[in-house]
Chain A
Amino acid sequence: MPQRAGEHASSGDRTVLDTREEFRQGLKEIVGPSFGISAWALVTGVAMIKSGLSVPLAVLMSLIVYAGSAQLAALPLIAAGAPLWVIWATAFCMNLRFVIFSAHWRKYFGHLPRAQRLALTFFAADLNYVLFLKRYPEPTPAPGQIPYFLGSVAWSWLSWEIPSLLGIALADRVPTDWGLGFAGVLALLGLAYSALVGRNSWIASGVAAAAAVAAFHLPLKLNVVVAIAVGVTVGMVLDRHWPDNAEARR
């Protein structure tokens, strides 16, 4: 933050100001993209009831699982009475991307006490991750990061939970054949586009997409695992033999 000329505020006041500023910034940057998440949440709320969960269980799932793609993948399995380990393995594969995100979160939150860092990352969804890394590309703790993060996750949590609870309450009245859940896919698509840097990341994600489709019939959503492995391998091979210097342009 550049110090403005003639500023007399004490450093304590500045910190408070920057904290509020960063909180607001985190909030502001997520408002737009969160609309897709809200449409997705509404559909997930409806889907929980339609797959036979009682209202209290659906509310509990919305509040404590808080992972849309894993919930949507698990619901048909719950409805079909699949064994628990199958449902959990499926949820784990859908959430595998968060494991990778967490390697990055470690760089920013690693110095905090364990309970605190796990509480923070519980709320860290896809949108929060991509926006945070855009705002703070330097992988090291810095002032303002936590307030920015809190602003970001506060808004995305509300923009998920409110429509999700609404979907639970109005399950019989929300039209499911409109395909509104696809707004969530479009949100992820926009996220992916904004994270593309350099030719090799295009090729690696294209191959990963093809692998996910080709391996779709694998059980437990293992196609996601296959796609990540293939994408990373292709990216690494390309970097070795046909570097695009994307790292330098970051």
Chain B
Amino acid sequence: MSSTQALVCILGMAVITVITRGFFLLSEREWPLPAWLTRGLRYAPLAALAAIIAPEVLLTDGALVDSWLDPRLLAVAAGTAYFWWQRGILGTIVIGTAVMLAAKLGLGW
């Protein structure tokens, strides 16, 4: 990709950020969403987060992890345990990352 193409690509992605983050704020008037859709949309942010997270944890190059001895699974297990114990996001990150690094660097997984 030439630098000009890459520049156009990046400018386009910036526009996408502005449009997606501000999507329902673009119009001057509020778009009336039907009540059933509003109720249903309360599941959307969680579904979207789950959709970003799950493949990062469960897939390697598009294939399901083939072993339980995967640093990411261990990290998620440790982070999950911490979260439901203390309800802190920072602890979830720190414990999960520490366990992952320990498995990778210490145990060589």
- Partner-B contacts on A (CB < 8 A): 32-33, 35-36, 39, 52-54, 57, 60-61, 64-67, 69-71, 74, 78, 81, 84, 87-88, 91-92, 94-103, 105-106, 109-110, 114, 117-118, 121-122, 124, 126, 129-130, 177-180, 182-183, 185-196, 200-201, 204-206, 208-213, 216-217, 223-224, 227-228, 230-236, 239, 247
Query: Is there an interface contact between B41 and A103, defined as CB atoms closer than 8 Å?
Result: yes
Interface residues on B, range: 35 or more
Query: Is there an interface contact between A217 and B24, defined as CB atoms closer than 8 Å?
Result: no
Query: Is there an interface contact between B45 and A129, defined as CB atoms closer than 8 Å?
Result: yes
User: Most A CB atoms within 10 A — which of B5, B7, B45, B64?
Assistant: B45
* 6 closest cross-chain pairs (CB), A and B: A231-B47, A32-B90, A97-B48, A235-B43, A227-B51, A190-B89
- B5: chain A residues within 8 A (beta carbon): 84
Query: Is there an interface contact between B16 and A97, defined as CB atoms closer than 8 Å?
Result: no
- B83: chain A residues within 8 A (beta carbon): 189-190, 193-194
Q: Quote the shortest CB–CB distance from B27 to chain A (angstroms).
A: 9
Given contacts A122-B18, A124-B21, A190-B79, contact A204 B47 (CB under 8 A): yes
Cα distance, A209 to B53, chains bound together (Å): 8
Known: A67-B16, A124-B21. 7 other contacts (CB 8 A): A33-B90, A69-B52, A95-B17, A99-B24, A118-B26, A188-B53, A195-B46
Q: Quote the shortest CB–CB distance from A108 to chain B (angstroms).
A: 10
Q: Quote the shortest CB–CB distance from A105 to chain B (angstroms).
A: 6
Query: Is there an interface contact between A121 and B25, defined as CB atoms closer than 8 Å?
Result: yes
Cα distance, A209 to B54, chains bound together (Å): 5
Which residue of chain A is the closest to B25 with respect to CB atoms? Answer: A117
Cα distance, A24 to B80, chains bound together (Å): 29
Contact partner, A191, options B84, B89, B97, Cβ 8 Å: B89
Cα distance, A84 to B33, chains bound together (Å): 32
Given contacts A186-B79, A189-B80, contact A211 B21 (CB under 8 A): no
Q: Quote the shortest CB–CB distance from A230 to chain B (angstroms).
A: 7
Query: Is there an interface contact between B12 and A217, defined as CB atoms closer than 8 Å?
Result: no
User: Most B CB atoms within 10 A — which of A54, A205, A217?
Assistant: A205
Query: Is there an interface contact between B25 and A193, defined as CB atoms closer than 8 Å?
Result: no
Query: Is there an interface contact between A193 and B80, defined as CB atoms closer than 8 Å?
Result: yes
Query: Is there an interface contact between B10 and A65, defined as CB atoms closer than 8 Å?
Result: yes
Cα distance, A216 to B54, chains bound together (Å): 10
Cα distance, A105 to B30, chains bound together (Å): 11
Query: Is there an interface contact between A208 and B47, defined as CB atoms closer than 8 Å?
Result: yes
User: Most B CB atoms within 10 A — which of A71, A177, A224?
Assistant: A224
Query: Is there an interface contact between B47 and A95, defined as CB atoms closer than 8 Å?
Result: no
Given contacts A106-B25, A206-B50, contact A232 B55 (CB under 8 A): no
